[in-house]
């Protein structure tokens, strides 16, 4: 399905995706959080009801409810159709010509960054809460050693956005390989995520709007709207205790997450993904992967200042 015209950006949505999303949304009708007799319990149930009727309404139209792909929309189109409404979108064609898209193999990165010391998240295999307890997992190593750790895959070592301030000097030599996304962002380079096949970021939401820019390899991403929060055992900071909505064992432990409304996509080199503030997401690298994330939008990007907890 495509929608275009004088006032609409060039957007596309596959029918299969739309069908799946409609079915997921309609299943919501069966969900009600466990009944509690007190006033707070009733207020929560009413809030869940409101969120569910809003999703059911959106599900009437695949254009309204689907995950759209846009071909390099202008800044104004992005603002009006996605940024301001808080709607995710996959953007194609905005990174055309970036040298990094051809260059950033493990060998090239190893040759360019060399023996510079880098900070990364390590020891992740030994702890399920490695994202919540980020500080405990900070490690340093020469970049050549880090690349050895990740080139054959695994989730134990990963350079994340959390390490980007510490790694600014080490990665300076990679900057000429990058372009700018002036339609959507101010001029600053993004935060690097670098890891092997199987690197996994568990289900969480961010306290800013985020733009993901895939450079090398592919990532499988699941997006879940904020309306689904009641199903996701949101107990700790910005994390869901479910961790992975594709893992049957986690779903056995958290059955309310089985029917959650979700969107699944694979991000490929040259793709951007806009993830609005408050949208749940989990991310799995399907290969060696290099990706940048940006929060420096041309428009206000606030929220974290008054987040409760």
- Torsion sign, CA atoms 187, 188, 191, 196: positive
HSE-CB for 16 with a 13 A CA cutoff: 2
HSE-CB for 305 with a 13 A CA cutoff: 3
Query: Which residue has 């919540």 as its token pair?
Result: 132
124 vs 219 by CB, closer to ligand AKG: 219
143 vs 162 by CB, closer to ligand AKG: 162
- 145 to 174, contacts with ligand AKG by CB under 6 A? 161
Phi-psi region of 304 (alpha: psi -120 to 50; beta: other; left: phi over 0): alpha
- Torsion sign, CA atoms 163, 166, 172, 173: negative
55 vs 206 by CB, closer to ligand AKG: 206
In the list 283, 288, 292, 294, the residue contacting ligand AKG (rule: CB under 6 A) is: 283
In angstroms, rounded to a whole number, what is the distance separating the alpha carbons of residues 224 and 51?
13
170 vs 275 by CB, closer to ligand AKG: 275
CB of 42 to ligand AKG, least distance (A): 34
In the list 281, 292, 294, 297, the residue contacting ligand AKG (rule: CB under 6 A) is: 281
Size of the residue set binding ligand AKG (CB under 6 A)? 11
CB of 291 to ligand AKG, least distance (A): 6
> By three-state DSSP, how is residue 117 classified?
strand
CB of 201 to ligand AKG, least distance (A): 3
- Interaction between residue 293 and ligand AKG (CB under 6 A): yes
18 vs 203 by CB, closer to ligand AKG: 203
CB of 176 to ligand AKG, least distance (A): 23
In angstroms, rounded to a whole number, what is the distance separating the alpha carbons of residues 307 and 309?
6
* Angle, helix 39-58 to helix 15-27, in steps of 10 degrees: 150
The candidate with the shortest Cα–Cα distance to 279, out of 234, 239, 223, is 223
- Interaction between residue 189 and ligand AKG (CB under 6 A): no
- 192 to 221, contacts with ligand AKG by CB under 6 A? 193, 201, 206, 210, 212, 219
Q: Which residues bind ligand AKG (CB under 6 A)?
A: 161, 193, 201, 206, 210, 212, 219, 281, 283, 291, 293
């Amino acid at each position: 399905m495509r929608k275009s015209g004088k006032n609409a950006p060039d957007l596309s949505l596959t029918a299969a995706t739309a069908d799946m999303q409609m079915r997921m949304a309609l299943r919501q009708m069966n969900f009600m959080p466990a009944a509690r007799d007190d006033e707070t319990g009733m207020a929560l149930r009413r809030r869940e009801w409101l969120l569910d009727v809003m999703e059911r309404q959106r599900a009437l139209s695949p254009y309204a409810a689907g995950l759209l792909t846009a071909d390099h929309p202008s800044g104004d189109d992005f603002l009006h159709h996605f940024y301001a409404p808080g709607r995710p979108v996959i953007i194609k064609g905005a990174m055309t010509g970036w040298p990094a898209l051809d260059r950033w193999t493990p060998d090239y990165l190893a040759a360019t960054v060399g023996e510079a010391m880098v900070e990364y998240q390590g020891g992740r295999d030994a702890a399920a809460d490695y994202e919540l307890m980020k500080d405990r997992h900070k490690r340093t190593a020469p970049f050549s050693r880090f690349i050895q750790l990740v080139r054959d895959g695994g989730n134990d070592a990963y350079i994340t956005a959390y390490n980007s301030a510490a790694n600014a000097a080490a990665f300076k030599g990679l900057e000429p390989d990058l372009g700018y996304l002036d339609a959507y962002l101010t001029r600053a380079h993004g935060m690097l995520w670098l890891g092997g096949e199987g690197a996994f970021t568990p289900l969480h939401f961010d306290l800013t709007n985020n733009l993901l820019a895939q450079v090398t390899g592919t990532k499988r991403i699941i997006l879940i709207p904020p309306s689904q929060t009641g199903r996701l055992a949101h107990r700790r900071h910005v994390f869901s205790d479910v961790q992975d909505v594709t893992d049957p064992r986690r779903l056995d432990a958290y059955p309310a997450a089985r029917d959650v409304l979700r969107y699944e996509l694979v991000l490929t080199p040259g793709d951007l993904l806009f993830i609005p503030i408050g949208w749940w997401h989990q991310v799995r690298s399907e290969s060696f992967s290099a990706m940048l994330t940006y929060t420096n939008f041309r428009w206000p990007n606030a929220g974290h200042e008054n987040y409760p907890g």
